[in-house]
Amino acid sequence: AQTVTQSQPEMSVQEAETVTLSCTYDTSESDYYLFWYKQPPSRQMILVIRQEAYKQQNATENRFSVNFQKAAKSFSLKISDSQLGDAAMYFCAYRSANFGNEKLTFGTGTRLTIIP
Amino acid sequence: DTAVSQTPKYLVTQMGNDKSIKCEQNLGHDTMYWYKQDSKKFLKIMFSYNNKELIINETVPNRFSPKSPDKAHLNLHINSLELGDSAVYFCASSQVGGYNSPLHFGNGTRLTVT
């Protein structure tokens, strides 16, 4: 079974600074997908960024980028120019590429606080 | 134009009661899920349906029974509610294929059992 670990329960960053959230995972599969979801206090689950395991190029979405290290099974999220609206719980998630096992397995989350 | 909608948003009930949560998606997806988020914010899969067929059933008590009348709907019925069932329940949907179809979540139903 796959597991996802987020070792930072809480992080804080000054507004306009850069912060990196860590995520590691364990799997024996070679093909899979990785995601970062954001959950603000409104409790919506919002997709932030996604990465295919077979792509070496790191995904970027505006101020959000990932550092994907397949051999190390690491998938960190970098948020540049942090804004107050970035304050939320951030969840790293793994998804198998095998049909019938396409559930998302989540990490325990990192609560990000933005300091004005 | 809500993509994945759940009702109700809040549900307060007493131990021993039976309750249902409804979920509908208008994205044309073929797979739907139920997730449970506990008080520590941990999200865990409960069930997954693909085209009305159950494909994932994690170790969930028999008191929980999902029902999918069609691929756009996935309801969750809970019998004999217990205090430990208090949580936020999320419905989600996706299309088989992974990357190009991440899970889209509803806004969750906060269930409180007293």
* Pairing, β B104-105 against β B87-94: antiparallel
Residue in chain A lying closest to B46 (CA): A103
Provide the pLDDT for residue B10.
97
Provide the pLDDT for residue B98.
55
Cα A81–chain centre separation? 17
Q: What is the mean pLDDT of residues B76-101?
A: 88
Put simply, the answer to whether A100 touches B56 (Cβ < 8 Å) is yes
Which residues on chain A place their C-beta less than 8 Å from a C-beta of chain B? 33, 35, 39, 42-45, 47, 50, 52, 89, 91, 95, 97, 99-106, 108-109
- Round the average pLDDT of chain B to a whole number and report it: 91
Tokens of B6: 């759940």
Q: CB of B90 within 8 Å of any CB in chain A?
A: yes
Provide the pLDDT for residue B100.
61
Contact between residue B20 and residue B85 where contact means Cβ atoms under 8 Å apart:
no
Put simply, the answer to whether B43 touches A91 (Cβ < 8 Å) is yes
Amino acid, res. A45: M
Phi/psi for B28 (5° steps) reads 75, 15
State which residues of chain A have pLDDT below 50.
none
Provide the pLDDT for residue B97.
64
pLDDT at B1 over 70: no
Provide the pLDDT for residue B101.
72
CA distance A92 to B26: 26
